[in-house]
Amino acid sequence: MSLSISQRLTLTVALMTGLILVPACTLLCLTLKRTMEASVLDLAYSQALEVERSVWTQLDEDILFDFEGQRVTFDTLNIAKSDWGLIRGNGLVDTAAGVLKDESVLPAECTRVLRLLSNRSFAVAAVPLTPDHPFTWVDLPEPVRHTIEDRMAGGTFLWAKADVLKEDNIYVVQMLDATQIMMFSVTEQGECVEVGADPLIQSLPSGMAEILSQGQGLLAHRITGWHVYEGELIAEVQGVDPNGVQIHVGVNRFGQEYELDENGVPAALLEPSRLYVMAAMDITREKARATMLGGGIMLGGVGIWGLFIAVAWLVTKRALGPVHDMILQADRIMPSKLNERLPVRSATDELGRVTKTVNRMLDRLQQGYLRERQFTGDVSHELRNPLAKVMAEIELAQSKERDAKEHQEILARLKGYTQALQHLVDSLLMLARLDTGFQNLEIQPFDVAELVVETLRTFSKAFASRIHIELGPSISPLMAIGHASLISVLLGNLLDNALRYSPETSPVHLRIHRQGKTIQFRVEDEGFGIPEDQRILVFDRFYRLEKSRSKKTGGAGLGLAIVQAIAEMHHMTVDITQAHTRGTVVSFALPAQQD
Task: Report the pLDDT averaged over residues 383-410.
Answer: 80
Which residues fall within 8 angstroms of residue 221, CB to CB, at 6 or more apart?
204, 208, 209, 212, 237, 238, 239, 240, 247
Structure-model confidence comparison of residues 158 and 532, the more confident one:
158
What's the confidence (pLDDT) of residue 171?
92
Phi, psi of 340 (to 5 degrees): -80, 150
What's the chain's average pLDDT? 80
pLDDT(96) > 90: no
Exposed (0-12), middle (13-18) or buried (19+): which is 114, by Cβ within 10 Å? middle
pTM to 2 decimal places:
0.50
Alpha carbon distance 492, 574 (integer Å): 14
* Separation of alpha carbons 120 and 339, rounded Å: 81
Share of the chain above pLDDT 70, in %: 84
Distance of CA 533 to the CA centre of its chain: 60
pLDDT at position 381: 62
pLDDT at residue 182 above 60? Answer: yes
The one-character DSSP state at 538 is: G
Mean pLDDT of 325-347: 76
Residue 64, pLDDT score: 44
Class of domain 333-436: mainly alpha
Cα atoms found within 13 Å of the Cα of residue 450, Cβ hemisphere only: 8
Most confident of 117-126, 241-250, 505-514: 505-514
Confidence of residue 511 (pLDDT cuts 50, 70, 90): very high
Segment among 57-71, 405-419, 469-483, 487-501 with least mean pLDDT? 57-71
Helix residue ranges per DSSP H, 321-349: 321-332
Confidence band of 447 (pLDDT split at 50, 70, 90) = very high
pLDDT classification of 108: cutoffs 50, 70, 90 = very low
Q: What is the tens place of the pLDDT at every residue in 354-389? A: 888 888 888 888 777 776 776 676 667 667 767 877
Element (H, E) at 556: none
pLDDT in tens, 183-239: 999 999 999 999 988 888 777 665 555 555 455 667 777 888 888 888 888 888 888
The percentage of residues in the chain with a pLDDT greater than 90, rounded to a whole number, is 12
Is the separation of the CB atoms in 478 and 450 below 8 Å? Answer: no
Instruction: Give dist(CA 549, CA 69) in Å, integer.
Output: 149
Q: Say whether domain 137-199 belongs to CATH 3.10.450.40.
A: yes
Tens of pLDDT, residues 525-534: 988 888 877 7
Dump pLDDT digits (tens) for 462-479. Answer: 888 899 999 887 767 889
What is residue 186's predicted lDDT score, i.e. its pLDDT? 92
**Confidence tier at 63 by pLDDT (50, 70, 90):** very low
Task: Give yes or no for residue 248 having a pLDDT over 80.
Answer: yes
Nearest CA among 500, 423, 486 for reference residue 451: 486
Q: 3-class DSSP state for residue 473?
A: coil
At 544 the pLDDT is: 66
* Residue 576 near residue 585, CB atoms below 8 Å: yes
Mean pLDDT of 146-160: 89
Helix (H), strand (E), coil (C) string for 256-297: CEEEECCCCCEEEECHHHCEEEEEEEECHHHHHHHHHHHHHH
Any idea which of 183-187, 242-246, 498-502 has the lowest mean pLDDT? 242-246
Does 440-591 carry CATH code 3.30.565.10?
yes
Judged against a pLDDT cut of 50, whether residue 110 lies above it is answered with: no
Q: Is 480 exposed, middle or buried (0-12, 13-18, 19+ CB in 10 A)?
A: buried
Distance CA 26, CA 15 (A): 16
Task: List CB contacts of 357: < 8 A, sequence separation 6 or more.
Answer: none
**Which has more pLDDT, 244 or 547?**
244
What mean pLDDT do residues 257-285 have?
87
